[in-house]
Chains A and B, each alone.
Chain A
Amino acid sequence: MSEQKLQSQTVQTTGHAWDGDLQEYNNPLPVWWVYTFYATFIFAIVYWVIYPSWPFGKGWIGGLSDISYVNSAGETKTHSWNTRALYLEDMNQAAAAQKPYFDKVQSMSYEQISRDPEITAFILSSGKALFADNCAACHQSGGQGVVGFFPNLTDDDWLYGGSYEKIHQTLVGGRRGYMPSFSEVLSAEQIGDLANYVAGLSGIPHDAAKAKAGDVLFHSETAACYYCHGADAKGRKEMGAPNLTDGIWLWAGVAAAPSSEGKVAAIRNVISTGLAKGVMPAWGGRLSPEQIKVLTVYVHDLGGGL
């Protein structure tokens, strides 16, 4: 040991000197810290007793804390605390709070709902959340749709029908739009004639002579357009075939075409290649019957009709 001073003796050192004179204070821990440390031990032991803790054999010790819930089979069950039991209890509580409203929604007819301001208000607020979570990705948050992809729900034009019953059917089972290709059945000239006729139905400038030939073809067995679109070309909702006379074009790209020639060409293109678009997923397996009824009324309120 050198002649340098050893460290102060007021606080004890660990009693060991490195390299001749390096020493380390041995300050005691603050009392509050020590007792907090011991308190965490006690907390842990209490926690083990109340909540699931140690693995034991093929399972684990469940703890004293229990959760009661009613399952979907209607049985009341008690389970040791865990997140899944807690979730069921939480779902029970929410279902109980909403039950008076959902019971009314389920028991009332659509006409009764539309006359009941309280239930209508409930549907507008809960339907808005359901619509945002499930429908808005395609039909957009206001229900306006996307031209070229997904139909507008706020107008009067309904591919499969805009009544409560039809909207309900669409929601539960989904829809699959389809128009066959006519390129192998009809000649290019015939398809051109049909395109001019269809353009004329909604007032798009067209070749009248060709349209006249197209008119005959439309109602003939050769092209048989009227099977799906109807003899008056106003569409048949049971097939999801659109009205061709109202100037609303969802998929054909007619609205986007700058010239009347372009519009006729867009129609010709659809007749030629057909369409395999317009898939609406089925929601019957994903949403509850009450949620689907709420959405039915909500969507009908956006622009439902016939």
Chain B
Amino acid sequence: MNFNFKHEWIETNIGLMAVLTMLAISVGGLVEIAPLFFIDKTIEKVEGVRPYTPLEQRGRDIYVREGCYLCHSQMIRPFRDEKLRYGHYSLAAESQYDHPFQWGSKRTGPDLARVGGKYSNEWQVQHLVAPRSMVPESVMPNYPWLLSTPLDISDAADRMKALRKVGVPYSLTQEEYKANVVKFGETVAPLLHIPDAQKNLLEQANFGNYDGDRSGISEMDALVAYLQVLGTMIDFSKYNDDAFVDNR
């Protein structure tokens, strides 16, 4: 059989076998991933999604540090039961500035993609310190140190610079700032300006007083600020319920 000849030929030419193996396993990636970079409809065109403020970004870093993602996803799937419990399904646009994104399919706790505004700051603080005092059947660990640990704000600008390198539109120069004014508006653009990171962080934390304690800024302030913005950036009442149906 002719087949036998080819088989032997590949097996005895290790270079050729490596090339053919790579070609074979690339097909999946080329067909399933590469087109997403060229298809127009990968990311929905919506108003309101912006990068996180310095305080929210610090909160997000604490969320990742504490491993919240191990039990909580941030991706509401387009199913009726998920809509009833969590709200509108998540859009790709909503995590376009997330590095890394917090999607996931492991839900020991509920999905948090739209937890922003669902509970009061006071509930969030008490629930993080002692989850079972609010939800008796909860298996979530206690995070009391968030309330007692002062937030390290010294590297707020550096964290934004790092994200800027991977494509988040935080502004460093005046030109970038002006571009952000056009893109995000005059109220949001100043919050994304890296040279003002510490000032913006302090202002938001002092004004919001997320942990209910005016004596200082704790890690709890940052984490609650982050949780309270999750899923709130898009006003879905502006869109028909099938506005995003072409994006899949």
Contacts and interface: CB of A to CB of B under 8 A. Distances in A.
A231 interface: no
B119 A281 contact: yes
Contact of A138 (B40, B119, B244): B119
Nearest to A16: B8
A37 B121 CA distance: 57
Given A72-B241, A90-B79, A286-B117, 10 more contacts: A15-B4, A16-B4, A59-B41, A60-B35, A87-B78, A133-B85, A146-B133, A146-B134, A279-B120, A286-B87
Interface residues of A, number: 42
A104 interface: no
Given A84-B248, A88-B245, A285-B237, A26 B123 contact: no
A145 to B, nearest CB: 11
Nearest to B243: A71
A216 to B, nearest CB: 33
Nearest to B40: A58
A85 B8 contact: no
A83 B75 CA distance: 14
B104 to A, nearest CB: 17
A99 interface: no
A280 to B, nearest CB: 7
Interface string A39-59: 000000000000000110011
B134 A137 contact: yes
Q: Which 7 A-B pairs have CB atoms at the shortest separation, nearest pair first? A: A55-B35, A279-B120, A87-B78, A71-B242, A72-B241, A82-B248, A84-B245
Interface in A91-130: 91, 94, 129
A138 B186 CA distance: 37
A82 B245 contact: yes
B118 interface: yes
- Most A CB within 10 A of own CB, among B123, B126, B237: B123
Interface in A247-279: 276-277, 279
A91 B31 CA distance: 32
Contacts of A280: 120
A88 B242 contact: yes
A73 interface: yes
Contacts of A77: 242, 245
A10 interface: no
A178 interface: no
Interface string B100-138: 000000000000000001111111001100000111100
A130 to B, nearest CB: 9
B8 A60 contact: no
A25 to B, nearest CB: 13
Contact of B121 (A59, A91, A279): A279
Interface string B158-188: 0000000000000000000000000000000
Contacts of A282: 117
Nearest to B114: A286
B38 interface: yes
Contacts of A60: 35, 39
Contacts of B84: 129, 133
A98 to B, nearest CB: 11
Interface in A120-165: 129, 133-134, 137-138, 140, 146, 149-150
Contact of A84 (B212, B240, B247): B247
Interface in B190-220: 212
B224 to A, nearest CB: 12
- Most B CB within 10 A of own CB, among A69, A83, A87, A88: A87
Contacts of A26: 4
Nearest to B237: A285
A79 B8 CA distance: 50
A90 B80 contact: yes
A295 to B, nearest CB: 13
15 contacts: A14-B8, A15-B4, A26-B4, A54-B31, A55-B31, A69-B242, A73-B240, A83-B77, A83-B78, A84-B245, A85-B242, A85-B245, A137-B123, A138-B119, A140-B136
A72 B242 contact: yes
B115 to A, nearest CB: 10
B80 A94 contact: yes
B120 A138 contact: yes
B244 A84 contact: yes
